[in-house]
Chain A
Amino acid sequence: MERSIALVALFAALIAGLGFIPKFTLAFGVPITAQSLGIMLCGTVLGARRGALAVILFLLLVALGLPLLAGGRGGLGVFASPTAGYLVAFPIAAFVTGWIVEHWRGNLAVVGAVASVIGGIVVMNLIGAVGLSIVLGKTYVESLLLVTAFIPGDLIKAVLAGLITASLAKARPASVLSRA
């Protein structure tokens, strides 16, 4: 119980901490923040339920008024902005990612990366685009086309999520709860 709470809370803090790291520009010149990498890691490391709980806890603190989203954003305004759909998608993406890692017992780096692609990119954008289409008044398909620009950066993050999870499983095996 205590361990679960501590891990969930510390991973919520990790998502926030990753938002403070200055953007690192990856290949293709697309500047990306590490925050969505944190969402993927919540799923791949903590598993479906605890991973989603960590993300929900993070979002609760954003809603309460703490500037924890990348770029120091936060408060209730972000839940009315065009990217609100992504905030709804965050916990679901972590859950799906974690569920796949829990149920597919393959090489952790590969499984973690594939799970992050499905949960952190496919599910994330399918739900996030709903928010875009509502707030920006576009059709769903048009909104999906808008977000394709971010997919190359997200693919890199998914591969990194897999590699990091596999390294953590070696360094801190007892704490990778998705495989415990």
Chain B
Amino acid sequence: MISLTSPVETWAHRWPAGLKLGLMSLATVALFATEDPAILGASAVGVALLYASAGTRFARAGARQLWPLWPFLVLIALWHGLTGQVAAGVALTLRLLAAVALANFVTMTTRLSAMIEVAAVLLAPFRRLGLSTRALEISIALVIRFTPAIARKGGLLSEAWRARSRRRPGWQIVMSLAALAIDDADHVADALKARGGVLPIPDTDQKG
């Protein structure tokens, strides 16, 4: 599974993930708390400089990540152009771009393993309360393992459909795909049980 972490090694890759996430959260709260176009503009320039400091290739990949926002930018432009509230529209656009780009920057400069470590730290209080987080850890691994498998099966089902029909594959594939997911889940459940179960402590109540 390919994560969105940038293969271009930057200075920010070496920063601790927790620190980056904390700073990003504070900055995002601040961005949504202000309406001042000057502050929002300065923030947008600041985020752009972050990307620029990481090199052209990195910055170009970052810009591509912002592309899905274009319908919203068109919407803001039309709306505020028609109602004449141009300053408010500019402020909204700057805040949207700065907030999304900043969050993407953290994702692009943090490895999946580092993110999972942060998640484990955040879950530590639950472990201290005696709750097992093992189920969650296994679930995360299972999703990472099985998403490509399910996607591949979806592709195979589409091909099988095209080989037999002139019409395009439709929702019928989803039904077969869901049945395949259920079958996979049965096999996984058996495999987990065969390896001693998710909660290996014998005195806990293990309901099938």
Contacts and interface: CB of A to CB of B under 8 A. Distances in A.
Contacts of A160: 171, 174
Say what secondary structure dominates the interface of chain A: helix
Interface in A1-18: 1-3, 5-14, 16-18
B168 A66 contact: no
Given A5-B139, A7-B182, A14-B181, A80 B103 contact: yes
B103 A75 contact: yes
A175 B185 contact: yes
Contacts of B182: 7, 10, 168, 172, 175
Given A76-B107, A136-B72, A61 B140 contact: yes
B100 A81 contact: yes
Contact of B185 (A10, A66, A77, A168): A10
Given A13-B143, A14-B181, A66-B4, A6 B28 contact: no
B144 A61 contact: yes
A97 to B, nearest CB: 15
Interface residues of B, number: 78
A167 B173 CA distance: 12
Contacts, number: 205
Q: Report the contact-size class of chain A (Cβ under 8 Å from the partner).
A: 35 or more
Interface in A63-106: 63-68, 71, 73-82
Contact of A65 (B107, B158, B177, B184): B107
B63 interface: no
Contacts of A13: 142-143, 146-147, 149-150, 181
A80 B207 CA distance: 40
A10 to B, nearest CB: 4
Nearest to B184: A10
Contacts of A11: 181, 185
Contacts of B153: 17
Nearest to A70: B68
Contacts of A140: none
B187 to A, nearest CB: 8
Given A3-B208, A57-B139, A135-B96, A67 B3 contact: yes
B142 A21 contact: no
Given A13-B143, A17-B177, 12 more contacts: A2-B190, A11-B181, A24-B168, A24-B170, A60-B140, A66-B1, A67-B3, A67-B4, A71-B68, A77-B104, A136-B96, A163-B171
Interface of B: 1-5, 21, 24, 28, 32, 65-66, 68-69, 72, 75-76, 79, 88, 92, 96, 99-104, 106-108, 110, 112, 115-116, 119, 135-136, 138-140, 142-144, 146-147, 149-151, 153-155, 158, 168-171, 173-175, 177-179, 181-186, 188-190, 192-193, 197-199, 206-208
